[in-house]
Each structure stands twice: as structure tokens, then as C-alpha cells.
Amino acid sequence: MPHDRAAAWALLAEFTPSQPLRRHALSVEATMRELARSRGLSDPAEIETWGVVGLLHDFDYERFPTEADHVWRGMEILRERGWPEVVIRGVGAHAFYTGIERVTLMEKAILAADELSGFVSACALVRPSKKIADVPVESVLKRMKEKAFARSVDRSYIVRGAEEWGTPLPELVGLVLRAQVAIAARLGLEGAPAAELPDEPVPPVGQPVGQPPLSETLVLGRGYT
């Protein structure tokens, strides 16, 4: 079995029955792909790898939620199952406590993507419309200063993520918002609750808003419709 997006979804589904965590994986994947494009990456295989790291970064979390296990067990399992080192390192780089240095652009991207993707979703869900498309960048920045709002999201990850990625925070927030809009319905961020994300079929990737890259659809569309 190739170590591609479909395999990543299958592994996620195997370890993660929880729907919110599956949605989080898709959300971080969408951000990773957008981050890749924002730095001029155009090779579909490379963009897919960035997305796969987003999909898999928390795949072990539901089963192994403690800092002693989460990430470590995931990396172990990925290694046992023959995933490429670039994916394993990418997954390992998403939490400070692993001490794994973020060297490559993709490793910096996962830190920039992870907490902020969750945070903008929380910002959408408190709006009357419950639509991510209605969330302005400024309101995300304002919410970040409210300690009581989305308490579980560690702001220091978001700030450091933007710093390491090298993009001013408002710009990064704008990019993350755009990435979520492309798959808003699947994330429950289009004004209605999300439909169940089953093990199969593999959910399709979101297309960049306003510019559907046809060739990429053809390449990445393999294995699912």
C-alpha cells in the first residue's frame, strides 16, 4: 500500500473514532496545503506530503493523550508501518515538548498550522452565522487576547508558529481562514453541523478558493471520487 493521502486517512480513521479530531486533522491538512502553496510549492506530490503531515499529526492522540505518549507513540507506529522519515519528523515537530527541532519549511508549517486552525474554528462557532467565511482577521486577533475564550488553545504555540514560519500573524490568520473556507461544510463551519466523516470514502481535499487547480485534482483524485 502506498504511503499516500488515502493511507493517511485510513490510519487516522483506525486510531481516531472521534469526529472532532477527524475534523481537526482535515482542518490542519487544509492549512498545510495552503501554506505550501503560499511559498510557491507546486509539485502535487510535495503538497500532498505537507497535507499528510497535517492529517496525521494527532492520529495517536485519542489513544495516547498524555505528553509521555502522544507524538512518541505516533512516530513509532508510523516507523513500524514504513512511513517516510519526512512525514515522521513532520509529525514529531508539531509539539514543543518533543524537543524535535523544526528545520525544514514543512516542519515549521505544522507548528504554524496546528493550533491556529483550531482557534479560527472556535472563532467561527461563536458567530451568529457559524460560518468561517464571515470571520474577519481582526476578530481572530482580538479573541486571541481574551484568556477565557477557547482556553485550551495555547496562544504561545500560535505566536511562535507565526514567528518560525516567518509571516506576520495577521497574514497567517488570513491564510488559515481561507484554507478552512475551502472545506467549511465538512468542518461544520458553513452554518450547519458537519456530516459524519466515515472511515470510507476518503474525504476529498478542499480546492483553493476561487482557483480550482484542475491538474492537481486529477493527480490527487486517485483512490477516491
Residues at the site binding Fe ion, with contacts judged by CB under 5 A: 58, 114
CB of 217: closest distance to Fe ion in angstroms?
A: 26
48 vs 114 by CB, closer to Fe ion: 114
122 vs 219 by CB, closer to Fe ion: 122
CB of 76: closest distance to Fe ion in angstroms?
A: 15
Joined together, the cell numbers standing for residue 65 give: 493523550
Query: Which residues, other chains included, contact 152 with Cβ-Cβ below 8 Å and sequence gap of 6+?
Result: none
CB of 2: closest distance to Fe ion in angstroms?
A: 24
180 vs 216 by CB, closer to Fe ion: 180
d(CA 120, CA 122): 5
3-state secondary structure 144-175: HCCCCCCCCCCHHHHHHHHHHHCCCHHHHHHH
User: How far is residue 58 from each of residues 1, 43, 66, 169, measured CA to CA in Å?
Assistant: 21, 25, 12, 23
CB of 58: closest distance to Fe ion in angstroms?
A: 4
**Cβ atoms within 10 Å of 97's Cβ, excluding its own:** 10
29 vs 58 by CB, closer to Fe ion: 58
